[in-house]
């Protein structure tokens, strides 16, 4: 493509993301959850953009939008591109959606040229876990993990996943048909980084070699409530003070281990009165790292620190595990091919770990998967200030086209096919 055409395509991708951000359950800000009414508007708009390509567009029984671009020969395998179309409350315009818009732009840039493999674009119906508290409903369907138990989960209005699917005009009994079969040889996901690393490195793109594992725990410090004015400091059993000391230990632990992040995102003290010493304090802990061994060791150390702090202060500390998500390695061949494609754009290749979870970690259960990160200005995401540079979108489109050509010529792809 010419420089002018590349810029026009990048600007169109940006404009389409902004357009989809107007489809929202809220009058102010963007919030689009699993199979809500604005999701139907989103599907309709995307179908209009795909119509000039003559591609069949359908919704599977989990509400994922899917469009297939044919191969040079019938019965050829497929490469899957995708990301999610749902959002968090008060969202930005690019998280998830950008990956789908870039995939569509790549199909348009082919100008009808056929490759040895077909291409399917998927816009996942749900990734964020906002409506039902369970993430990845859309991508779970593609790997056969949208089961009867998950279909029973209810939202705040008492509507089950199954009921919402039915109300959207889909048939839950057909969910198994959404599952990927052996004709798919890979999955690629473009996504904003949602962090500051690429901006700090002054790089537009990166290949993701793994998605960090996560440990989520809840801690409860039990002390003794008492009068704030009459209890001497040395006689206190302050659960909030113990939690505060432990939170500092969490931060120090994470700073001492390269690549480790640890977050206390929620804290609640009881009874919660200004003039009462807190007798109980609950706090959450989120620990992430690309190495499961490092992550689990850090979580264990922080449990022990909570116990030590509580014992020294005359309190007790209890904890429970909320989530143990192993790290997911991306496909080494696809990661290398992405690095090569990035280099062909004139950019310096860079590999990184994704600290956030993505649909790619679910798809990797069934097909080789990889991700391409775009620089996030300011590292801002999950916020209306979320943005992306048009120049970086240009690089992403160029990278994607190089990648398609590389895969079309690859012996390894032929073997996988």
CA separation for the pair 303, 321 (Å, rounded): 11
| Overall domain count for the chain | 2
Domain span at residue 232 reads 214-325
**pLDDT per 10-residue tile (average), the chain, 417 residues:** 91 98 96 98 97 94 97 92 97 98 97 96 97 94 96 96 98 97 95 97 97 95 98 97 98 96 96 97 96 97 98 98 93 98 98 95 96 97 97 98 96 79
149 and 195: one domain? yes
Indicate whether 259 and 298 sit together in one domain: yes
* 162 and 254 part of one domain: no
For residue 413, what pLDDT is reported?
Answer: 80
CATH of the domain at 275: 3.30.70.360
What does pTM read for this prediction?
0.89
Last residue of some domain: 271, 293, 325?
Answer: 325
Q: Are residues 174 and 220 in the same domain?
A: no
Same domain, 165 and 240: no
- Distance from C-alpha of 303 to C-alpha of 312, rounded to nearest angstrom: 14
Q: Which residues pair with 237 in a beta bridge?
A: 224
**pLDDT for res 149:** 95
| pLDDT value at residue 108 | 97
> Residues 14, 155: one domain?
yes
302 shares its domain with 344: no
- Helix H, strand E, coil C: the string for 108-155 is HHCCCCCCCCEEEEEEECCCCCCCCCCCCHHHHHHCCCCCHHHHHCEC
Answer for the pair 66, 59: CB distance below 8 angstroms, yes or no. Answer: yes
Q: 42 by DSSP, 3-state: which?
A: helix
The reported pLDDT for the residue numbered 75 is 85
What Rg do the C-alpha atoms of the chain give, in angstroms? 24
Q: The CATH number of the domain where 38 resides is what? A: 3.40.630.10
- Residue recorded with tokens 């086209």: 401
Residues in the chain: 417
In our burial notation (b when 16+ CB lie closer than 10 A, e otherwise), range 147-180 reads eeebbeeebeeeebbbbbbeebebebeebeebbb
Do 149 and 271 belong to one domain?
no
Within this chain, do residues 10 and 138 fall inside the same structural domain, yes or no? Answer: yes
Same domain, 337 and 356: yes
Tell me, what's the pLDDT at 100?
A: 98
Q: Are strands 351-354 and 205-211 parallel, antiparallel or unpaired?
A: parallel
**140 and 277 in one domain?**
no
- Boundary residue ending a domain (283, 302, 325): 325
End position of a domain, from candidates 305, 325, 345: 325
Are 258 and 388 members of one domain? Answer: no
């Amino acid at each position: 493509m010419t420089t002018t055409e590349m810029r026009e395509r990048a600007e169109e991708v940006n404009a389409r993301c902004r357009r989809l951000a107007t489809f929202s359950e809220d009058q102010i800000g963007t919030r689009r959850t699993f199979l809500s009414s604005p999701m139907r508007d989103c599907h309709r708009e995307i179908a209009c953009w795909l119509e000039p390509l003559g591609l069949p567009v359908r919704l599977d029984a989990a509400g994922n939008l899917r469009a297939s671009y044919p191969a040079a020969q019938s019965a050829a395998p497929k490469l899957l591109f995708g990301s999610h179309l749902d959002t968090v409350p008060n969202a930005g315009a690019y998280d998830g959606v950008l990956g789908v818009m870039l995939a569509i732009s790549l199909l348009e840039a082919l100008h009808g040229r056929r490759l040895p493999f077909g291409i399917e674009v998927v816009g996942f119906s749900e990734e964020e876990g906002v409506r039902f508290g369970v993430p990845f409903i859309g991508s779970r369907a593609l790997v056969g993990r949208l089961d009867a138990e998950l279909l029973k989960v209810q939202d705040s209005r008492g509507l089950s996943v199954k009921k919402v699917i039915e109300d959207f005009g889909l048939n839950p009994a057909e969910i198994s048909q959404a599952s990927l079969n052996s004709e798919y040889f890979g999955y690629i996901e473009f996504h904003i980084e949602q962090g500051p690393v690429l901006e700090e490195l002054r790089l537009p793109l990166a290949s993701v070699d793994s998605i960090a594992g996560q440990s989520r725990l809840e801690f409860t410090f039990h002390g003794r409530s008492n009068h704030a004015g009459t209890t001497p400091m040395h006689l206190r059993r302050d659960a909030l003070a113990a939690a505060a000391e432990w939170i500092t230990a969490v931060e120090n632990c994470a700073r001492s281990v390269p690549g480790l992040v640890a977050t206390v995102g929620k804290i609640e003290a009881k009874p919660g009165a200004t003039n009462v010493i807190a007798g109980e304090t609950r706090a959450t802990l989120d620990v992430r790292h690309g190495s499961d061994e490092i992550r689990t060791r850090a979580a264990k150390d922080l449990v022990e620190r909570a116990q030590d702090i509580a014992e020294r202060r005359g309190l007790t500390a209890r904890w429970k595990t909320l989530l143990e998500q192993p790290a997911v390695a991306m496909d080494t061949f696809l990661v290398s091919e992405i690095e090569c494609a990035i280099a062909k754009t004139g950019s310096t290749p860079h590999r990184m770990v994704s600290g956030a979870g993505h649909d790619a970690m679910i798809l990797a259960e069934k097909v080789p998967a990889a991700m391409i990160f775009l620089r996030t200005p300011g590292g801002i995401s999950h916020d209306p200030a979320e943005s992306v540079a048009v120049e970086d979108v240009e690089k992403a489109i160029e990278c994607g086209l190089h990648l398609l050509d590389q895969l079309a010529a690859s012996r390894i792809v032929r073997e996988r096919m």
